[in-house]
Amino acid sequence: MPYRLVAKTALLAALTPAAAGALDLGDTEFIGGMEFLGEVFLPLGAEVDGTRLLGLSGLARAGDTNTYLAISDDTEGPARFYTLRIDVADGSLDEGDVEVLGVTLLDGPMEIGSFDLEGLALDADGETLLVTSEGLGDGPDDAHAPFLYRYTTGGAFVEALPLDARYIQTDKAGRGVYSSGGFESLVYGADHGTLWMAAETALQQDGPKPTLDAPSRLRIIKWNAEPEGELRLEAEYVYELSAREGSTILTTDEGGDRSMVDLLPLTDTTLLALEREWIGGEPRTNTRPIALFEIDTAEADDVAKIDPLTGDERAVEKRLVLDFETLRSEGLVERVGSFEAMVFGPDLDDGRRTLILFEDNDDGVDTQIIAFAVALR
């Protein structure tokens, strides 16, 4: 039997007239407009078939249905993903529009405490999927390397896909991803001919993480995914990760981090990119800087054969779409959650696309879910 969670709708979002209006966007080229469609929450501590519903960090939609898969980044429980029903086809996200249908445990070479699952992409056959771990430990002695695995949708291990050694923290100290800084983004293009993947911050050999004074440079990987089931590296691009902003609600800064946590393709060369900041010492309101950008790889340099980066490489073009603090300042959301996952839902009758975002609740707050209607130029 499906396990139904009654999601609570934020009263401010329901009562504020601006919730039905358009949002002010940045200087966008591909996004023609965005409208906020609503906010709901899944309760903290909810249990689904003997597991705790937490840390939802990657989303995939099953074809043109209302069924979605969400990976959990819980490092203290079994590897798993959840199946959900999400209904935004009527142009709103309201109480009852989100239902958790069940959980699937993943078998194979994953011992509890050795992985941090962040990305999930459903293969074209609808019967297999890819998952990533961002890696744990800076290595080489304490490292649990990032990985890219294929599973059946029933949870059976199929294969481990090879990754370039530059991403692994096992050859010598000071190389590979930073601890918990590996593969956060994983998504197919519309025709499943391309798979996009990205580390959430710089590789150790490519430079430091972003600070309050300086941005950072991470790599976006573009795989050729044809023929079906095979992956061939097509290119790597530099993405300039914004400098940290610091807390919007604290007067002091106790350290933190900024990362790029998800990608969503628009065309063969353009994508949406989601950046999120973690604030040290912040109370569990989860309000933090979150920003959505549109990026274009068409004029960027291919850096697949450059290790380490020199700093002279031409990065992808990047334009701000939405600063999520706008949602809070206009009373559309109760807080700005730690969003880590986004996916396109069904098209609306007027031709706009729906965009759904999930928060990684870090097992500390209710899981926030929001949705937008997006007009593409």
Assigned domain for 138 exists: yes
Assigned domain for 2 exists: no
* Whether 152 contacts 106, CB under 8 Å: no
The pTM of this model reads 0.92
CA distance 12 to 33: 22
Question: How many domains are contained in the chain?
Answer: 1
- Which amino acid is located at 251 in the chain? T
**pLDDT tens readout for residues 310-335:** 999 999 999 999 999 999 889 999 88
Task: Give the pair of three-digit tokens for residue 191.
Answer: 């025709």
What strands, in cross-sheet order, belong to the sheet with 183-188?
183-188, 194-199, 216-224, 232-241
CA distance 264 to 339: 14
pLDDT for the residue 8: 39
pLDDT for the residue 280: 64
Assigned domain for 1 exists: no
Q: What letter would DSSP give residue 90?
A: T
Between strands 339-347 and 317-323, the pairing is unpaired
Assigned domain for 156 exists: yes
Assigned domain for 3 exists: no
The parts of the chain modelled with pLDDT lower than 70 are 1-21, 138-143, 169-172, 247-255, 280-286
CATH of the domain at 251: 2.115.10
Assigned domain for 354 exists: yes
β strands within 215-286, DSSP E? 216-224, 232-241, 256-265, 270-279
**pLDDT tens readout for residues 82-99:** 999 999 999 999 999 999
Assigned domain for 63 exists: yes
CA distance 260 to 239: 9
β strands within 242-338, DSSP E? 256-265, 270-279, 290-296, 317-323
Assigned domain for 197 exists: yes
pLDDT for the residue 16: 33
Structural domain that includes position 264: 8-376
